[in-house]
Structure formats: structure tokens, C-alpha cells
Amino acid sequence: MSDNPRGPLPATRDHRLRDGSGRSLVEDLGGVVDDLRQMLVEFGLRPYTVHVVRVRWSGGEVGRGTPATAVDLALLPTPRVRSLEALAWQSREGGHVERGDVRLEGISPRYTEDEIESYFGRADGEECFVEVRMDRRDGREPERRRFTIASPPVRRPDRFDWSVTIRKQDGNRERDGSRRAPRRRVW
């Protein structure tokens, strides 16, 4: 007979309790949640696409040699782009630039942590960034806004997703995906 008033076994020895490190109902329902999110895309309620882009430089380091797009991976189903309206124009000598942070939510829970890190990570001789593009509702190639990761991705099992904050960068690519030529000052 145990002197423990809460029961005969301590919780750590109760075989009915598990630590949750195996598959769970959240993982099993990931595909169903992705199907529901895809319906939002098809209804037109996700007007932006989100792409992870890797550009490889022929010279072995960023800025050296010729750039070539190595990866242009659309995150599917399209995540929710929150707070894009929070971007602000900052006045500069030659015009203005966009600044601010945006949150991506609803990144599929079926991605693993390793996949997320490899998509948003860095590699030697490559630059990696996130592009947020408006869909083609107006019949032409969309503007491409370039972002970098501002915080590590966070798995939110209670929302069946990953979430990540991205920060606006300079150097948007042209609408066709080509590298934008640097603007030259004329004195």
C-alpha cells in the first residue's frame, strides 16, 4: 500500500500516460487542415503567393559571378500573409523604400522542422529569401517583394501550422524574376 494520497503510482510510472513525442491527432489531421486552407486559396481569399527562393552565384559567394535561380519553391497550401499593410515607405535620397515585418501563418503542419529550416536556411554561395507575390488577378506578372527571416519558425500545434516573421529587404526582383539592375546615380 502506497502512502501517496494521489494514487498508488507516481505519474512518471503510470503506463497510461505518454510524453506526446509520437504521432498525434494534430499530425493525423494535417492533411485535412491543408485541404481546408486550399479551399481558401481557390475561393480567392489568399491573394498572395509565398515562395522560398535560392539564388546561386557562379563565383562561389554571394555577389561574385553570375546569379542563377537554384530554387523557387511555392509554400503550399498558400500561407496567410498577415500585416502586409504594416509595411511603410521610408523616404530616402533617391525615393522611398519599403520597411517592416510581416507574419506568415498557416504554413502546413505537414512540413517537418528540418524541411522548414532547409527552406529558410542559408548555404555557401547562395542567397536565400522569401518572395511574397500578388496573384495574377490583374492579368500580368505580379510585383515581387523580397523578405528575409526575422525569427525562427514556430510550430503552433493548437493552430495546425507553422508561423514565421519575415522582414522586408531591399533588392526586389523584376516581375519576370530577373535580377533588378542597380540604379545608377547621375550627378
Residue 30 lies in a domain: yes
Residue 72 lies in a domain: yes
The pLDDT value given to residue 136: 76
Q: What is the pLDDT of residues 11-23, one digit of tens each?
A: 777 777 777 666 7
Residue 177 lies in a domain: no
Q: What is the pLDDT of residues 38-73, one digit of tens each?
A: 999 999 999 999 999 999 988 888 888 998 999 999
Residue 38 lies in a domain: yes
Residue 3 lies in a domain: no
Q: Which domain holds residue 160?
A: 23-168
Q: In the chain, pLDDT over 70 holds for what percent of residues?
A: 89
Q: What is the pLDDT of residues 97-148, one digit of tens each?
A: 889 999 999 999 999 888 888 887 777 788 899 999 987 777 778 889 999 9
Sorting pLDDT into bands at 50, 70 and 90, what band is 6?
low
CB-based contacts of 156, cutoff 8 Å, min separation 6: 162, 163
Residue 81 lies in a domain: yes
Residue 9 lies in a domain: no
Residue 132 lies in a domain: yes
> What is the value of pTM for the model shown?
0.80
What is the total count of domains within the chain? 1
